[in-house]
Chains A and B, each alone.
Chain A
């Protein structure tokens, strides 16, 4: 029996989330708007830093500034590209369809996962380039990678929730930075501290643990609040 006549079974939570995640990537690969915006923004900022400050990793005094600059590049690149995910839905008129067919938690997780993978890709491209050009030595690469992942999760989750809010506002571009930065700055401080400790070989330690804790708090809050943002 083929099961004809029976109503189609609703997909599982995981399948729905992965389907939305796949949709995000398919849409992005058609236009490449977010990837090109984020990539070019990060590259331009990296060139500007290198051109103006030179190989700061070569001098002992300037070395602690390197993780700060790296995280600033990542934060502003994320702010330039990640809000697009929800704005595009509102502009194309697909937001209402998504409201009808997708569970809010699946939509949020699908979008946040997409934003996280974009950020991971950005970090994987920018970080080696950054350390190569600025000649910054990293004593504990694994600890540094953990700091990048912890910071990336918080950036993705926070950006996804704020992007959903901003997409319903009149002024979108500047508003994202105004709303997202106070939420993301504590995480940025922790990520910088963890990166700095890992780069100097002191171990990412307490700052990294707190960054994971912040990620968990932000994710739980975002999952609870997103349905209120999404459904009028």
Chain B
């Protein structure tokens, strides 16, 4: 990423942060348990983009894994590995910000809401992906098995993210697109999603380059 693009990304994220914290109106219907914490709704500008970006990250990792299984080019495996590592950071941050907001809105950090269950399983799954990588010595076998596991995750994911929350139990979360919000709030959330997604792809590309260099070093015994 060029210097100009990097600066543009930082300015974008800073702009979304300032707009979310200072300029945007407070969301109606998010006034806290006792109606005494209306400012808590501003966490939506971080929580929702983090959650959407982690979903994009795991989708991208599954695509890179499928590409690796198709072409057997190690750079696709590096991309998937980096995508899961960085995506997991976004996923954990989405869980923590969600927990903080849930404490204010619903009275508990964790309620086993279907969406909370889905994200907890995603963390377990991609933690398992990293454990699998650590448990296989041969690089080709490691890349192949990790690729299969990542693709398997995305076969199961639609069930976790879209079917179970709508059929088993009632969710405290609003349906996607179901929450009525002021147009300015929606635009800042969308700008946040764009910024966080760009940040993910930048961090992922940095991590992928480190992994590729490390693999090349190991191959030549440096």
**In contact, A165 and B168 (Cβ under 8 angstroms):** no
Tell me the smallest distance from the CB of A166 to a CB of chain B, in Å.
Answer: 8
- Among the 9-residue stretches A29-37, A48-56, A214-222, the one with 4 or more Cβ atoms under 8 Å from chain B is A214-222
**In contact, B156 and A183 (Cβ under 8 angstroms):** yes
Tell me the smallest distance from the CB of B65 to a CB of chain A, in Å.
Answer: 10
Q: How far is the CA of A148 from the CA of B2 in the complex (A)?
A: 57
Q: How far is the CA of A64 from the CA of B159 in the complex (A)?
A: 25
- List the A side residues contacting B149 at CB < 8 Å: 165, 179
- List the A side residues contacting B159 at CB < 8 Å: 186, 213-214, 217
- List the B side residues contacting A186 at CB < 8 Å: 121, 156, 159-160, 164
A-B contacts counted at CB < 8 A amount to 82
- Is A232 in contact with chain B by the CB < 8 A criterion? yes
**Chain B interface residue count: which class?**
20 to 34
**In contact, B124 and A182 (Cβ under 8 angstroms):** yes
Tell me the smallest distance from the CB of A46 to a CB of chain B, in Å.
Answer: 26
- List the A side residues contacting B141 at CB < 8 Å: 168, 232
Nearest A-chain residue to B145, judged by Cβ: A165
**In contact, A181 and B160 (Cβ under 8 angstroms):** no
Proximity string of chain A (174-186) to chain B, C-beta cutoff 8 Å, 1 when within and 0 when not:
0100110111011
Q: How far is the CA of A162 from the CA of B185 in the complex (A)?
A: 44
Tell me the smallest distance from the CB of B135 to a CB of chain A, in Å.
Answer: 4
- Is B147 in contact with chain A by the CB < 8 A criterion? yes
Q: How far is the CA of A222 from the CA of B155 in the complex (A)?
A: 10
Nearest A-chain residue to B156, judged by Cβ: A183
- Is B4 in contact with chain A by the CB < 8 A criterion? no
Q: How far is the CA of A229 from the CA of B69 in the complex (A)?
A: 10
Q: How far is the CA of A178 from the CA of B125 in the complex (A)?
A: 8
**In contact, B152 and A181 (Cβ under 8 angstroms):** no
Tell me the smallest distance from the CB of A180 to a CB of chain B, in Å.
Answer: 9
Most central of B117, B156, B160 by chain A CB within 10 Å: B156
Provide 21 A-B residue pairs closer than 8 Å at the C-beta atoms, listed in order of the A residue.
A165-B148, A168-B145, A169-B136, A178-B131, A181-B128, A183-B125, A183-B156, A185-B121, A186-B121, A186-B156, A207-B168, A210-B167, A214-B159, A217-B156, A218-B155, A220-B155, A221-B152, A228-B148, A229-B144, A229-B145, A232-B144
Given contacts A217-B159, A229-B144, A229-B145, 5 further A-B contacts (CB under 8 A): A170-B136, A182-B124, A186-B160, A210-B167, A218-B156
Interface residues of B (CB under 8 A from A): 69, 117, 121, 124-125, 127-128, 131-132, 135-137, 140-141, 144-145, 147-149, 151-152, 155-156, 159-160, 163-164, 167-168
